[in-house]
Amino acid sequence: QVQLVESGGGLVQAGGSLRLSCAASLRPFNIYAMAWFRQAPGKKRDFLAAISGSGGTTNYADSVKGRFTISRDITKNTVYLQMNSLKPEETAVYYCAAKIGRIETTLGYDYWGQGTQVTVSS
């Protein structure tokens, strides 16, 4: 079975940082592009960041460039999203996603986690 499990969400003050983790059952892990999305109440699900299977290529939404960093640890089958300088408007459920092949910035991923809540207080 394919399973993506996010963790690391929680409450943080504006300007603070969080690191999200996504543990994946996908094998071999390095053939899957991985991505992070978020969805705020009443909003569509938006792309945040993606990383290629090898980890050699990354892509970020303009809104998070310079503040968020996506990375992956092949030995741990885990992808991370380091989020710095968080803003209250970034309160949302954050989702991990995976697909075989090239990274995409759309919702065209095959596998999704359940999401983890991130709340940024002002």
Q: Beta 78-83 vs 92-100: how paired, if at all?
A: unpaired
Please say whether the dihedral angle defined by the alpha carbons of residues 46, 96, 50 and 120, taken in this order, is positive or negative: positive
Q: Which of 22, 57, 42 is nearest to 92 (CA)?
A: 42
Q: CB of 14 within 8 A of CB of 28? A: no
Beta strand spans in 1-122 (E): 4-7, 10-13, 18-24, 32-39, 46-51, 58-60, 68-73, 78-83, 92-100, 111-112, 116-121
- Looking at residue 7, its amino acid is S
DSSP 8-state class, residue 70: E
pLDDT of 61 reads: 98
Q: Please give the chain's pLDDT, 122 residues, in tens.
A: 789 999 999 999 999 999 999 999 988 989 999 999 999 999 999 999 999 999 999 999 999 999 999 999 989 999 999 999 999 999 999 999 999 999 999 999 999 999 999 999 99
